[in-house]
Structure 1
């Protein structure tokens, strides 16, 4: 039965987002949990008795299901201290993030390595979990298979063991016996000594590696420690803090002075909660070993990059906190996904090498950017608040240290004579970010903005054409950011580093001079990214693509004119668009029916006759984005429902393919006709999930970034 069968008819199209959240929850949860989440999404905040009534479950089943969905952060709860009554509320944002599991794992794999990806995958499956249990689960699931001799019981033969290496005596996970729960990887040895299914090069995963990788993820903010306040919705948490602060004012809150004191107290309490949540992350950042700024990022054994965090003392810090509960920080994962999207966007305009430099800039900024969006309920520390209001700046040295080792910054840029370059204009410093006015970005300086002196007015360009470097694609003996081939960055000379820094600055200046303004030169040797205007331009790119695909170049031309000029009379628009008046009227009516344009009627007299009425056309950005999101949610729900129908139709074949002795050997174990039907389903599944992924890209750009 599809999850949509449990939904009533929605009064608002925006509720389709909740329907999609439930559909994505269906991928990982059972029917009981699905019914609980469906009821909370449809009916709002409820208690156990109401949930038992509307889900046809008994209270014991409801409580067990609530415990599981709370563990996966899919449901908030709030307890009234006076009545001791607990109510539950769905968390649709966390449910929707289940659609992005594949993207999150992919970006973690590329940035932090395979072990980090596996740890994040374990957190997605387990929900919040203690560190010690997570390490044991990870080592048992992803380590080499255990070998047993036929007829031998499960005993521990390791007399020289570390408590963290003991798999057989730590079978105390919440769901029962750990060894029995994951014995799929257990392999048996026959009497002749042959071990079936074992790999010769399989090496056990050391606990120190897992602790160090987990410490790296916590220090980066991808994984966060769990506190009691996280189980409340942000609105309930703020209301609880205000209720506690009200006790300090027995005479009530009257007057401007008392109101200011009350607001100050509430803000201080909320900041204290933010500091409590970030205690472990800050401890790891302060005590962990940081690499010198003149050494490039070293490559970890698990395939990831260290990003400046060595992790040597981080693992020991986590070992001292085995009972600390952690979970995945989806807000930070969304920042990583935004960086990836912006890098792809920059590559379309400035080329691959310059886009990789932009990726290094975003990676250095990512250490100080904790979430994509903020609202009045966002919990921030003083550091986060200062970063949000004043912006984040990084130096050229920090950007260079975050460049990927495979980027050759001496390529991808052209050469120009010194006479053709105006240094002061090319390297001008903008103190203030560009302002968004209406629906277009202001490119000129406002009153109060400054063009400061360049930090490179005494720039020596004589060393830009040294022998052995890559200039304009000509290969020499030095590559990989000025280091010798082989990737050993510890031995790079000071001159080669300075040379590569000069090349990298040229790429940064290209990013500042583009029409899109990817980077802003904001201070002496300082750079920043204005995410608001940049995401705004990215939205316009997506909108222009959709308009051109549906209405052609003429529809795109009309939309851009209205976006730039605002409201225009239907008599003025044809002249500006260089189109015939009947063609304009037909195209505008077509776009209005699709919801991309709006028209306002202004009668000249009380008769409201058509010939005495002025028609003003305009582009409503907010309404257009809302309609695009609504259509995206509808399409995603239909794709997921179609996938459920296909799975139901192929249930017999999928049951065969899911057998343990068939998995990974479908072509050998299945008959020809059965295998062909299985391949047909796999192809349909790939197409549907790919479409869901593309639609999620639109949702990310228009709503989450």
Structure 2
């Protein structure tokens, strides 16, 4: 994959930030400052040693580290026995989202899941048993050891010795995963001193890991994942060619060859998803696992894999796993869309929309697909036919703390257009410029209502109107008590009432101009991610254009985006602006790369007065330029951060001492502490700017 220089520099800085200088050398040699693998494409060890000024041993060590973290693909030619390496720029850029990923995992799956994901980010792909052991040693509370002596609390250590396959004693200095944070420094001050604290149990770690694998956040690793999708497809085609010794000629033989290649690629996809499917099936066949559990941080688990899932992982301890950034990107997209909906329709309806996305997310494993994406038959069917969920499924994913009776406006029946409110659209909306087609398409249906669970006999008992239906609120709602409790413990009538109220929020989302939700069938709902993300891109572009060129520039851009190419004589009348002002503004925007102009001469003389100038908005070209500018800004922020660290290196060295960490205010002198606070403030600003720029990149490219 070809990337720009700014993107290559950004990947090198991110790898250097998280994994050190040696792995990043494979991305960024001393001269030129463009990433070696990204700039030169495929390279072997000898070429990398030549271009990075390192010896082959150092190059191999750096390649081993980046392959461990899926930052580099490799391909071995069996005829020449030569291995070539190719950079994985997507995985390298995903490192900038580490903080966001950990945050969304913490809120959705809990603290232990976040710690497991963090461990995988540090270790790369690792065996399940080794990951569980490392997690318990790292995150379990430890007793302090005075003057470096080992802790001989046998009762405390016995719990780990029963589970440790390698026979390492807890706190053994020979353990490579252990650190010295539980030792006491020379002045006798103990860090992390805890008494009688129960360590993390292996069963809890296995169950949480099984839940993450079943949800797709963590995936099992097979040998084919170390090849790029292009190389993998070429290898499959080469193997299939052996079945056709006479070559692939003719329509019939070509069809057979393509069918064989597709079946082999699907088999590879099935192999990759074997562990995930096994854990999902165990969750489906265990009724106790389907009930969603409330996590310690207030979030809700997704119901995937319970005790049986942990036992499955225990039986296969040598399974290698790694973090699946594609699924994490889906979670980040859901969070971004929920924030977008909240800006338009309010908090309660946005929480219902988040529940809808959570139920859809169980069947959506990546944001984007291309011709090289490897999918199973289930994923392929989901991709082409779409994902739809019922109101019951959405209600099961709704947090019990959400009061669905709030956030709904009041209206009488005569004020509601039932033809528009209950419209069922079988097909997604079509993008037309910056607006979506809102008319009734061919094949769409109009029904009175598909809410069969609600009893309309009691509609006129009370006079309150809720979103077009003559509903009523019970006493709990009238006295201010939230209806959102434990769904499973409420009566049938209360559940039916909450389902009806939740459905009103879904109808609000479906009736909105942005069409956040599509009512696609009887009691079925879906989200058209393509048009919705397109709207997000237009919102970000409009904000950017208005900040740089004012309201007039935004007006001209919207006109060109909706109408297409327009000449410079028609545009002033449509924009209600003077012709000189239009020319000045258009020239300014053309120099910035937001608009393009095409010259069409009327004769061969090509005189200016005999030439038509057509202005147009090239969305793809504009996005490419905006993305490159975002990469450049992120590179400058990270480089500035390195300069600030170098300037404050003495202060940071003092603050990194183990007897100072967490006690900077009382351990550091006044002047040093003030310098430390200044650096922390600068670091927050720079990293916050990088995070905002990553939001733009996500909307413009990854979602």
Q: TM-score range by the shorter chain?
A: over 0.9
Alpha-carbon deviation of 1:27?
Answer: 0.7
- Could you list the per-position Cα deviations for residues 605-645 of structure 1 after superposition, in whole angstroms to 9, with x for gaps in the alignment? 22222222111111111111111101101101111111111
Native 8 Å contact 1:293 1:398 kept in 2: no
In structure 2, the residue matched to 1:377 is: 372
Native 8 Å contact 1:147 1:187 kept in 2: yes
Alignment of 1:238-257 (within 5 A): 238-257=233-252
- Could you list the per-position Cα deviations for residues 438-494 of structure 1 after superposition, in whole angstroms to 9, with x for gaps in the alignment? 554322244444446642489645352132254xxx5444x242x3xxxx4432111
Question: For structure 1, which segment, 669-678 or 423-432, has the greater mean C-alpha deviation from structure 2 after superposition?
Answer: 423-432
Distance in 2, matches of 1:466 and 1:204, equals 48
Distance in 2, matches of 1:153 and 1:375, equals 55
In structure 1, the residue matched to 2:337 is: 342
Corresponding residue SS for 2:525: strand
C-alpha change, 1:65 and 1:294, in structure 2 (3 Å) is closer
In structure 2, the residue matched to 1:5 is: none
Native 8 Å contact 1:346 1:355 kept in 2: yes
Corresponding residue SS for 2:17: coil
Alpha-carbon deviation of 1:145?
Answer: 1.2
C-alpha change, 1:79 and 1:151, in structure 2 (3 Å) is closer
Corresponding residue SS for 1:584: helix
In structure 2, the residue matched to 1:653 is: 651
C-alpha change, 1:262 and 1:155, in structure 2 (3 Å) is farther
Please, what is the CA RMSD of the aligned residues? 2.6
Distance in 2, matches of 1:310 and 1:218, equals 9
Corresponding residue SS for 2:300: coil
- The reply on whether 1:64 has 2:50 as its aligned counterpart is no
Distance in 1, matches of 2:238 and 2:639, equals 44
- The reply on whether 1:89 has 2:89 as its aligned counterpart is no
Corresponding residue SS for 1:249: coil
Alpha-carbon deviation of 1:170?
Answer: 3.2
Alpha-carbon deviation of 1:169?
Answer: 2.8
Alpha-carbon deviation of 1:160?
Answer: 5.2
Corresponding residue SS for 1:527: strand
Alpha-carbon deviation of 1:30?
Answer: 2.2
- The reply on whether 1:37 has 2:34 as its aligned counterpart is no
Distance in 2, matches of 1:292 and 1:412, equals 34
- Could you list the per-position Cα deviations for residues 97-132 of structure 1 after superposition, in whole angstroms to 9, with x for gaps in the alignment? 110000000000010011100000000000001111
- Could you list the per-position Cα deviations for residues 271-297 of structure 1 after superposition, in whole angstroms to 9, with x for gaps in the alignment? 000000000000000012678699973
In structure 2, the residue matched to 1:579 is: 577
In structure 1, the residue matched to 2:547 is: 549
Question: For structure 1, which segment, 401-410 or 322-331, has the greater mean C-alpha deviation from structure 2 after superposition?
Answer: 401-410
C-alpha change, 1:602 and 1:172, in structure 2 (3 Å) is farther
In structure 1, the residue matched to 2:32 is: none
In structure 2, the residue matched to 1:9 is: none
C-alpha change, 1:585 and 1:356, in structure 2 (3 Å) is same
In structure 1, the residue matched to 2:638 is: 640
- The reply on whether 1:265 has 2:260 as its aligned counterpart is yes
In structure 2, the residue matched to 1:144 is: 141
In structure 2, the residue matched to 1:561 is: 559
Alignment of 1:684-703 (within 5 A): 684-703=682-701
Native 8 Å contact 1:290 1:309 kept in 2: no
Distance in 2, matches of 1:349 and 1:94, equals 33
Alignment of 1:186-585 (within 5 A): 186=183, 197-199=192-194, 202-288=197-283, 297-301=292-296, 304-309=299-304, 311-437=306-432, 440-451=435-446, 454-456=449-451, 460-461=455-456, 462=458, 464-470=471-477, 475-477=479-481, 479-481=482-484, 483=485, 488-585=486-583
Distance in 2, matches of 1:74 and 1:156, equals 42
Distance in 1, matches of 2:213 and 2:479, equals 41
Alignment of 1:94-133 (within 5 A): 94-133=91-130
Q: 2:6 aligns with which of 16, 22, 31?
A: 16
- Could you list the per-position Cα deviations for residues 35-94 of structure 1 after superposition, in whole angstroms to 9, with x for gaps in the alignment? 112222232211111122222222222222211110011111101111211111111111
C-alpha change, 1:310 and 1:679, in structure 2 (3 Å) is same
Q: Return the TM-score normalized by structure 2.
A: 0.92
Alpha-carbon deviation of 1:405?
Answer: 2.2
Q: 1:184 aligns with which of 181, 188, 192?
A: 181
Corresponding residue SS for 1:26: helix
Distance in 2, matches of 1:597 and 1:431, equals 36
- Could you list the per-position Cα deviations for residues 403-431 of structure 1 after superposition, in whole angstroms to 9, with x for gaps in the alignment? 12221111000122223223343111001
Native 8 Å contact 1:508 1:519 kept in 2: yes
C-alpha change, 1:475 and 1:698, in structure 2 (3 Å) is farther
Native 8 Å contact 2:597 2:614 kept in 1: yes
Alignment of 1:576-655 (within 5 A): 576-655=574-653
C-alpha change, 1:262 and 1:303, in structure 2 (3 Å) is same
- Could you list the per-position Cα deviations for residues 567-614 of structure 1 after superposition, in whole angstroms to 9, with x for gaps in the alignment? 112111111111111111111111111111111111112222222211
Distance in 2, matches of 1:344 and 1:290, equals 35
- Could you list the per-position Cα deviations for residues 376-399 of structure 1 after superposition, in whole angstroms to 9, with x for gaps in the alignment? 110100000000000000000110
C-alpha change, 1:168 and 1:389, in structure 2 (3 Å) is closer
Native 8 Å contact 1:146 1:187 kept in 2: no
Distance in 1, matches of 2:134 and 2:283, equals 25
Distance in 1, matches of 2:653 and 2:300, equals 40
Alpha-carbon deviation of 1:436?
Answer: 2.3
- Could you list the per-position Cα deviations for residues 203-259 of structure 1 after superposition, in whole angstroms to 9, with x for gaps in the alignment? 311111111100000000000000000000111001000000000000000001110
C-alpha change, 1:46 and 1:154, in structure 2 (3 Å) is farther
Native 8 Å contact 1:293 1:401 kept in 2: no
Alpha-carbon deviation of 1:302?
Answer: 6.6
Distance in 2, matches of 1:249 and 1:425, equals 57
C-alpha change, 1:161 and 1:580, in structure 2 (3 Å) is closer
Consecutive unaligned residues of structure 2, counting only runs of 5 or more, are 29-35, 460-470
Distance in 2, matches of 1:632 and 1:586, equals 26
Corresponding residue SS for 2:181: helix
Native 8 Å contact 1:171 1:177 kept in 2: no
C-alpha change, 1:680 and 1:697, in structure 2 (3 Å) is same
